[in-house]
Structure 1
Amino acid sequence: MNDITRNIILDVTEKLIYRHGIAATGMDFLVKTAGVSRKSIYRYFANKDELVIAALQRRDARWMHWLRAEVERREDSGERLLAVFDALKAWFGSADFRGCAFINTSGETGDPQAPVRLLAKAHKHKLFEYLLELCQAHGTPEPQRQAAQLLILIDGAITVALVTGDAIAADTAQSMARTLLGL
């Protein structure tokens, strides 16, 4: 066993739970799709919950890195705030867009203390912190409040794009952000 096998398991797990959900991604389906044995999976992960959390942690890191890279291409601080929505629009138009993995998986559990829910909460907190950083860099008058508003606009746009299949939700959210931020 090596890191390549572990990465294959995590990659396949992430894709399957993003596409089908946690409950619909059984271990048999995972074994078949990844082309590894159950024994291989259990060498790395004690159970399905541990595997799902590891896959979502990787997604969190990768998604936040992607968003930062897209936004930081802009030089002007105001344009960076709006670039978040340009990045979202490109994502919404991609063939594999299925909404927010963290909102989707959170919806599969009713327990607010479930590891998946706590991970989703941590992801949203990281996104809020990044938006706060962008608001502070721009010098918005109420950076905490405006970062919270932007977070809601982002999650709303993601949800509308998923439900309607229309990437234009990012443009609508961006227009609202312009109004909120006075840009």
Structure 2
Amino acid sequence: MSEARARLLGTATRLFYMEGLHSVGIDRIVAEAKVTRATLYRHFTGKDELVVAYLREADQAIRDRVDEALASGRPAAEILRLVATAIAEDIGSPGFRGCAFLNAVAEYPDPEHPVHQAVLAHRQWFLHTVTDLLAQSGKTPPELAGRHFVMLRDGAMASGCLSEPAAVCETFLQGIEGILTA
């Protein structure tokens, strides 16, 4: 990745997450990344492609964390606990502003839009990964437990920026434990 592309993506990531996708314009991203408009358009066809790249970076970061947990060789239930703990840590981190994917889909409700499609791709992967791990841990039916896990995550992500994060994280982790021990 070129230095200019990395600066553009880094700047866009920070601004998009903190201020929202529609509220941040290309001119501001270009100015704060210290590049020209021509440089932006050399790397991205437009703002939508930049937003999709931002979401793909967020998706890859989550996949990397899950892959690290999978590589630990631990039992599936323990991997799910590690994933849940990482989510709780994110919720409790300074500057937490909710789930980047839920925030994005709220701003791009058209299911055919590339941003919406990027959100759906991430969610499908996450649900599939969690469901597979639940199946490996013996949860029956794993599909229902997987949807429950994702719904708990979504609720915790939304609540984490609206109320006391520590209490939200505690409730979320208790809910995940309930899924794993039921």
TM-score by length of 2: 0.90
Identity of aligned residues (%): 29
List alignment gaps of at least 5 residues for structure 2.
none
Instruction: Show the 5 A alignment for 1:55-134.
Output: 55-70=54-69, 73=72, 75-134=74-133
Q: Which residue of 2 aligns with 1:177?
A: 176
List alignment gaps of at least 5 residues for structure 1.
none
Distance 1:47 1:146 in 2: 39
Distance 2:88 2:117 in 1: 27
Q: Is the 8 A contact 2:92 2:169 kept in 1?
A: no
Q: Which residue of 1 aligns with 2:135?
A: 136
- Structure 1 stretches of 4+ with a deviation exceeding 6 A read none
**Count of matched residue pairs:** 182
Q: Which residue of 2 aligns with 1:164?
A: 163
Q: Is the 8 A contact 1:67 1:87 kept in 2?
A: no
Distance 2:151 2:73 in 1: 22
Distance 2:176 2:7 in 1: 39
Q: Deviations over 1:60-81 (max 9, x none)?
A: 1112212443575572332222
Pair 1:157–1:73, CA change in 2 (3 A): farther
Q: Is the 8 A contact 2:88 2:173 kept in 1?
A: no
Q: Which residue of 2 aligns with 1:29?
A: 28
Distance 1:173 1:18 in 2: 22
Secondary structure in structure 2 of the residue aligned to 1:30: helix
Q: Which residue of 2 aligns with 1:47?
A: 46
When structure 1 is superposed on structure 2, of 80-89 and 41-50 the one drifting more is: 80-89
Distance 1:172 1:72 in 2: 27
Q: Which residue of 2 aligns with 1:18?
A: 17
TM-score by length of 1: 0.90
Distance 1:165 1:12 in 2: 28
Amino acid at match of 2:80: L
Distance 2:73 2:14 in 1: 30
Q: Deviations over 1:95-136 (max 9, x none)?
A: 232111110011112322211111111111111011012112
Q: Which residue of 2 aligns with 1:4?
A: 3
Q: Is the 8 A contact 1:99 1:159 kept in 2?
A: yes
Report the CA distance between 1:10 and its aligned residue. Answer: 1.2
Please report the RMSD computed on the Cα atoms of aligned residues, expressed in angstroms: 1.9
Report the CA distance between 1:94 and its aligned residue. Answer: 1.5
